[in-house]
Amino acid sequence: MIELIIKNYLQEKLDVPVGFKTRNDTEEYIVLGKTGTSSTDHINSATFFIQSYSTSKLNACELNEKVKEVMKDLVQLKEITKVSLNTDYDYTDLSLKKERYQAIFDIGFF
């Protein structure tokens, strides 16, 4: 399952918790999710969001930069064929009143 591959990879590379839901037990963490998939000639592609939560806008931005840096090497995993950053931006979570940045990645996989 591609979601678990990416979650485990990020958990190994980053020094903050990584999961699929927002948290109340820690100030700084990563939330990821898949927004869609497609398949062409037996090669799958998925779009993922990776949200960086932190205590300030600057810290969320810095965590987002770390995410973008470690995601460059995701392609070294045997299941991954391509990783490209689609976009990233400030995405403050107004409902939780937490600072957050979001990066969108297009990922090819087997």
pLDDT in tens, 41-93: 888 999 999 999 999 999 999 999 999 999 999 999 999 999 999 999 999 99
Tell me the CATH number at 56.
Answer: 3.30.2000.10
% of the chain exceeding 70 in pLDDT = 100
Sign of the CA dihedral with 82 first, then 86, 88, and 91 last: negative
Instruction: Give the C-alpha distances (Å, rounded to integers) separating 109 from 12, 54, 64, 79.
Output: 19, 30, 23, 5
Whether the full predicted model's pTM is greater than 0.75, yes or no, is yes
For the chain, the domain total comes to 1
